[in-house]
Structure 1
Amino acid sequence: MSVLFIRIIGDNMSARLFVFVGHPRSTSLSHGLADAYQRGAEAEGAEVRRMNLSDMQFDPDLTEGYHARKTLEPCLEEWRDTLSWANHTCWAYAQWWGGMPAKMKGVIDRCFLPGYAMKYHEDDPFWDRLLSGRKADVLMTADAPVWFDRLSNGRAAKLQVQKPVLHFAGIKPARILQVGPVKTASDATIAKWLKKAEARGAQAARRAS
């Protein structure tokens, strides 16, 4: 009985990480950062499940908003099931025009629905955060230095994913690792970024266990 009890506790405390690459192209630095992150997490004993946006086929348009529900395509069902299974998630993608790529935003629009990500109250303006208890890392690439993004845009892409998406649904803290400029980065600089991503994955595995 005691051995079974210990095994159950151990299973409940294991690190379960969902790595989602939100770059619509099948090869990118986002994939490389995700590879490094996954490598670091698995080295610490985490169980990792991964999905790549480039492999997903679905309608990204929430045509009727919340007035009429579309049936989720199998890949979106899998995405939600995997996020529900995880106690930590990592999203890796490129910042495009101050936000996430359109197809990636389509995943959020289609999946983060009332009853799954949040539940609005009928008698007040507040809501229940239905994905609470999870943490997140975001690995974001950009063609501008972070300091320029901060001065010029107030780091709009960081705020987009951190506040009205992840925190809104209860996923926090959400740590952001933003790297750039990518277009002028040397091999040595990219290697440093990959090392940072691997370290984040190892940290996530320890924090989630």
Structure 2
Amino acid sequence: MADAYQAAAEATGAEVRRIDLDDMHFDPDLEEGYHARKTLEPCLEQWREHTLWANHLVWAYPQWWGGMPAKMKGVIDRSFLPGFAMRYHEKGPWWDRLLAGRSADIIMTSDAPVLWDSLSYRRAAKHQVERTVLNFAGIKPFRTFQFGPVKTASQSQVDKWLARVTQRGTRMARLLSAKS
């Protein structure tokens, strides 16, 4: 699905930079929280550079246990740090959203039916990424797509999902180029 979105965006004239989660090798643990900073591995530095460069982000990943996979959470934990994603105010509970002005689309796959996820879990994975990650950092979540169940999907269903993300990639590339 990430390939389809990217191909459509590029075919419409968008410049795309991509990092595949599978290719990233880093320690996901913030052993001492924000109290002691670990040096970021090169892939995390590159991920941050791409985030600062982009005006629109697309995160595509499978849903695991009602949320994002541990490695995706590790990228966020290690990269979305104070001074990069947000800046806490000295006094009071407020913060500055340092990644404001960007937008994002999220593409999630799951083995649970989307209706089941909505009724049973109230789309917890969607709210996690939109509200507590993107919005917290100032990134405007445009759209979260959730496709499932993947394990029982027919080729016809997969083709429909691919058509939706292809259409979305084209639409967002046009929309963002019109803003430039």
**TM tier, smaller:** over 0.9
- Identify which of 139, 146, 170 aligns with 2:138: 170
2:99 — aligned with what?
A: 131
- Kept in 2, the 8 Å contact 1:162–1:174? The answer is no
Write out per-residue CA displacement over residues 75-114 of structure 1, whole angstroms, 9 at most, x where no aligned residue: 0000000010000000000000010000111000000000
Listed as ranges, the matches of 1:40-189 within 5 Å are 40-189=8-157
Alpha-carbon distance between aligned partners in 1 of 2:54 and 2:40, rounded to the nearest angstrom: 20
Give distance in 1, aligned partners of 2:71 and 2:139. Answer: 21
What is the CA–CA distance in structure 2 between the aligned matches of 1:207 and 1:73, rounded to whole Å?
34
Aligned pairs, how many?
Answer: 177
What CA deviation, in whole Å up to 9, does each residue of 1:110-134 have, x standing for no partner? 0000000000111221110000000
How far did 1:42 drift? 0.7
Could you list the runs of 4 or more consecutive aligned residues of structure 1 that deviate by over 4 angstroms after TM superposition?
A: none
TM-score (norm 2): 0.96
In structure 2, the gaps of 5 or more residues are none
Coordinate RMSD, CA, aligned: 0.7
Task: Specify the SS of the correspondent of 2:174.
Answer: helix
**Which runs of 5 or more residues in structure 1 are unaligned?**
1-32
Find the structure with the greater CA-based Rg. 1
Q: Which amino acid in structure 2 is aligned with residue 79 of structure 1?
A: W
How far the C-alpha of 1:46 sits from its partner, in A, is 0.1
- The amino acid across from 1:149 in the alignment is D
Query: Is contact 1:166–1:174 with CA below 8 Å preserved after alignment?
Result: no
What's the TM-score, normalizing by structure 1?
0.83
